[in-house]
């Protein structure tokens, strides 16, 4: 690992989690943001739980991550425009870098290269260049913020942008040194199906010798949010609150889980049909891949490959891709 690679990061700007992968740590931060209202109470004999990470930026105080929606006014915006330059996207990026820098006893970090994976809906040919420029504009540059009473600063010099699906195959194809993994070469050079089940979308892509098959590539709704909505028929919770419960296994019944997985398979079938049977592998990643159980596994059978860290796979793939582009 070169000294320069320590300032190279893969960033997955998901609606369920913001994920950051670097040489010295990997961070998964639930994409929950709220604005601190100041109405907090301390009552003897009662616990209020662990306070979320508090970030202060431009005079506004935010909570980010797990349980943020229980401590402030929730910001629940899951429109794709969120990733093109919203305050909450910026705050979440500050959040993942705060955790990384705390882990490494840092308050300043310069000369950073960040490789970012975007959803397919932001990669449509007529909008891809414009959307990439918008994403680059809010990520690149010097950022200063406060977090839990400490001051932090980062300077991002270079922003590399590709799709989240591209991160999946890069994670499978490359080692952490940016060099090809020989054992995975047959799948990479053959035809491989990629599935990313995120918070609000299911993205599928087919590559043949690393070339995209346009007709078998699509992004559709049907991610983890759809499961939360199945579980929230009476609208008793914010989706952020339900997401926190889902992570601890307290929400979905086996029947609700099965319904959601069958719906997910239906979304994939509309595009792939039975063509997946000819693929070398079907690689599945994302928060939904972590949740999904027997129904999806049984459907794809021995073709299905789930990485050891499916939630981190895209961010890790972005990191490996950036390392390869830097010369390893």
pLDDT at 315 over 60: yes
Strands 191-197 and 33-35: unpaired
Residue-wise pLDDT for 92-125, tens only, equals 999 999 999 999 999 999 999 999 988 888 877 7
Cβ 22 vs Cβ 8: under 8 Å = yes
More confident call, 66 vs 97: 97
What residues have CB less than 8 Å from 127, skipping those under 6 apart?
A: none
Half-sphere exposure of 221 (CA within 13 A, CB side): 7
Q: Which fold has domain 4-165+315-326?
A: Nucleotidyltransferase; domain 5 (3.30.420)
* Residue 175 falls in which region: left (phi positive, over 0), alpha (psi -120 to 50) or beta: beta
Residue-wise pLDDT for 120-173, tens only, equals 888 777 888 899 999 999 999 999 999 999 999 999 999 999 888 889 999 999
Which CATH code fits 183-309? 3.30.420.40
Cβ 65 vs Cβ 29: under 8 Å = yes
pLDDT at 310: 92
Report which of 36, 32, 37 is spatially closest to residue 95, judged by C-alpha positions.
Answer: 32
More confident call, 137 vs 189: 137
pLDDT at 73: 87
Q: C-alpha 267: how far from its chain's center?
A: 20
Q: C-alpha 228: how far from its chain's center?
A: 17
Alpha-carbon torsion (226, 52, 234, 249), positive or negative: positive
More confident call, 186 vs 172: 172
Q: How far apart are CA 129 and CA 123, in angstroms?
A: 8
pLDDT at 41: 47
Q: Which residue has the tokens 């590709």?
A: 162
Q: How far apart are CA 6 and CA 256, in angstroms?
A: 43
pLDDT at 53 over 90: yes
Q: How far apart are CA 18 and CA 30, in angstroms?
A: 6
What residues have CB less than 8 Å from 170, skipping those under 6 apart?
A: 317, 318, 320, 321, 324
Among the residue ranges 14-23, 42-51, 170-179, 216-225, the one predicted with the least confidence is: 42-51
* Same CATH fold assignment for domains 4-165+315-326 and 183-309: yes
Max mean pLDDT range (1-5, 34-38, 271-275): 271-275
pLDDT at 4 over 80: no
pLDDT at 47 over 90: no
Q: How far apart are CA 150 and CA 124, in angstroms?
A: 40
Residue-wise pLDDT for 192-249, tens only, equals 999 999 888 888 999 998 899 999 998 887 788 888 888 887 777 777 788 877 777 7
Task: Write the CA distances from 114 to 19, 129, 219, 232, integer angstroms.
Answer: 12, 18, 24, 36
Ordered alpha helix ranges (H), the chain: 87-103, 128-139, 164-173, 185-189, 224-230, 239-247, 254-272, 287-291, 294-300, 313-326
What's the rounded mean pLDDT across residues 57-76? 88
What's the rounded mean pLDDT across residues 5-25? 90
- Residue 3 pLDDT class (50, 70, 90 cuts): very low
What's the rounded mean pLDDT across residues 261-267? 90
Looking at every residue in the chain, the average pLDDT score rounds to: 87
Give domain limits for the chain.
4-165+315-326, 183-309
What's the rounded mean pLDDT across residues 307-311? 91
Both tokens of residue 289?
Answer: 């891949």
Q: How far apart are CA 283 and CA 196, in angstroms?
A: 8
Strands 150-163 and 141-147: antiparallel
SS3 (DSSP) at 315: helix
């Amino acid at each position: 690992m070169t000294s320069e690679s320590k300032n190279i990061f893969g960033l997955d700007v998901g609606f369920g989690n913001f994920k950051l992968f670097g040489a010295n740590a990997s961070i998964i931060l639930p994409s929950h943001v709220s604005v601190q209202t100041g109405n907090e109470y301390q009552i003897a004999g009662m616990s209020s739980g662990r306070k979320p990470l508090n970030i202060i930026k431009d005079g506004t105080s935010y909570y980010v991550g797990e349980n943020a929606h229980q401590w402030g006014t929730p910001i629940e915006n899951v429109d794709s425009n969120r990733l093109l330059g919203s305050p909450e996207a910026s705050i979440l990026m500050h959040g993942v870098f705060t955790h990384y820098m705390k882990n490494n006893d840092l308050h300043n970090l310069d000369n950073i290269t960040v490789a970012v994976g975007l959803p397919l809906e932001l990669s449509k040919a007529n909008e891809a260049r414009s959307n990439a420029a918008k994403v680059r504009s809010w990520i690149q540059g010097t950022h200063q913020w406060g977090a839990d009473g400490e001051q932090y600063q980062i300077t991002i010099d270079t922003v590399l942008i590709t799709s989240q699906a591209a991160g999946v195959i890069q994670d499978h194809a490359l080692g952490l040194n940016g060099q090809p993994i020989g054992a995975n070469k047959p799948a990479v050079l053959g035809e491989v199906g990629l599935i990313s089940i995120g918070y609000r979308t299911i993205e599928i892509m087919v590559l043949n010798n690393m070339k995209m098959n346009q007709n078998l590539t699509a992004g559709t709704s049907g991610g983890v949010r759809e499961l939360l909505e199945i579980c929230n028929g009476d609208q008793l919770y914010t989706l952020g609150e339900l997401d926190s419960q889902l992570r601890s296994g307290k929400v979905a019944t086996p029947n609700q889980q099965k319904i959601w997985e069958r719906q997910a398979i239906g979304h994939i079938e509309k595009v792939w049909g039975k063509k997946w049977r000819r693929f070398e592998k079907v690689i599945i990643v994302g928060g939904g891949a972590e949740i999904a159980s027997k129904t999806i596994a049984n459907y794809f059978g021995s073709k299905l490959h789930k990485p050891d860290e499916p939630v981190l796979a895209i961010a890790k793939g972005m990191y490996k891709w950036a390392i390869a582009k830097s010369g390893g």
